[in-house]
Amino acid sequence: MTGGSAAGTARVSRILVIRRRALGDALVTLPAILRLAEAFPAARIDLIVDRPFAELMSGLAPELTILPWPPPRAERPRWTDRLRAARYDLVFDYLGSPRTALWTALTGAPLRVGYDLRGRAWAYNVRVPRNRDGTTPLAAFAGEAFLDPLRAIGLAPAPWRAVGAVAGRGAPGAPFTVWAAAWVGRSGPRIGLALGATWPAKGWPLAQALDLAARAAAAGAVVLLVPGPGEERLAADFRAAMPGSEVAPPTTLVELAALLATLDVLVATDCGARHLAAALDVPTVTLFGPTDPRGWNPADPRHVAARTGEPCSPCDLKFCPIPGHPCMTGLTGSLVWDKVQTLLARPEARGVRRREGAGA
């Protein structure tokens, strides 16, 4: 870490954290931001996140002030003036885009922490290598790496840990509450399925998901498909292939958090719903193909990575060039069900652990 010092942090009273774009990245970064709040208990911390995530993040971290981006259209021309007028003492830029680097510089904060990236490092006087050892990328959980900016100003944060429950911000709507009351009344272990894939290469074949659902149902579990926006066709195909199956209704992010909190295990691709479940401390089985579990799976026995071990995986490619897409098609329902059973057999799951309050 170069270009700055921790001098003056004892006088910090206003902090800005910029964590824009992907929901998963924001959720994995949030524990680091909460460690920052612990280190500066008297400071006001403003957190910039994308507007669709603002209500959820307010519930996950009520001690922070959320600044949604973009602001209302009439306020956009004055956005940077607003940031400068806040007179921040300390700014962390976790995105490091040209735009957020400029925001950071324009705050005029005495301490400006960001990644040492070409074309953007000029904005920061405390620069953090994104490549942690300076020569080769390290395969380490991203949540721990997101603590590095705190270390760069001389803090010694505790290891990454899940946020836990969502505070009472943004009550679920009445239709969801009615549905949730019926859902939590179902007996047996509750297994969620989230198959969203922003990259085509992350997708898990429906046939494998149906095989998993059949195995779980035969063992007395109840399986709930949790489709995301734009996955109506997936939900219809799932229902058609498995009549009587449970499919969650459309939800807001706050409602999705409430839903996930009722599950005993979530089986998911490497997607936003899975990161939200991990943030809430809900056990997960994550289907990894093109992405690296060492970077995106918490080092916790309650979060299990399912992989085939293909030599080309992880590749970080959005489209698979290998015929048959073996890293995902090879994740059979049987293999994944074995992982789920491992989680259900853990001592804290025996009973089975019930997570109530989806409609609270």
Domain that residue 251 falls in: 174-349
Say if residue 327 is in the same domain as residue 199: yes
Domain match, 126 and 249 both: no
Domain final position from 87, 118, 152: 152
Query: Taking the model in full, what pTM does it have?
Result: 0.89
Does 135 fall in a domain?
Answer: yes
Q: Quick one: 254 and 323 in the same domain?
A: yes
- 95 — phi, psi (to 5°)? -95, -50
The reply to whether 132 and 14 lie within a common domain is yes
Q: Does a structural domain hold residue 1?
A: no
Residue 187 lies in a domain: yes
Number of domains observed in the structure of the chain: 2
pLDDT confidence tier of residue 132, bands split at 50, 70 and 90: low
| 3-state secondary structure string across the chain | CECCCCCCHHHCCEEEEECCCCHHHHHHHHHHHHHHHHHCCCCEEEEEEEHHHHHHHHHHCCCCEEEEECCCHHHHHHHHHHHHHCCCCEEEECCCCHHHHHHHHHHCCCEEEEECCCCCHHHCCEEECCCCCCCCCCCCCHHHHCCHHHHHCCCCCCCCCCCCCCCCCCCCCHHHHHHHHHHCCCCCCEEEEECCCCCHHHCCCHHHHHHHHHHHHHCCCEEEECCCCCCHHHHHHHHHHCCCCEECCCCCHHHHHHHHCCCCEEEEECCHHHHHHHHCCCCEEEECCCCCHHHHCCCCCCEEEECCCCCCCCCCCCCCCCCCCHHHHCCCHHHHHHHHHHHHCCHHHCCCCCCCCCCC
Tens digit of each residue's pLDDT (9 = 90 or more) over 202-253:
999 999 999 999 999 999 999 999 999 889 999 999 999 998 889 999 999 9
Please say which residue of 85, 118, 152 terminates a domain.
Answer: 152
pLDDT in tens, 212-222: 999 999 999 99
Within-domain flag for 245:
yes
pLDDT at 6 over 60: no
Which of the listed residues 152, 186, 217 is the one where a domain comes to its end?
152
Structural domain contains residue 316: yes
Tell me how far apart the alpha carbons of residues 337 and 307 are, in angstroms, rounded to a whole number. 13
Query: Tokens 């942090």 sit at which residue?
Result: 9
What pLDDT is stored for residue 195 in this prediction?
93
CA dist., res. 86 & res. 14, Å (int):
8
- 128: CATH: 3.40.50.2000
Res 351: pLDDT: 43
What is the pLDDT of the chain when averaged over all its residues?
A: 89
Percent of the chain whose predicted confidence (pLDDT) is above 70: 90
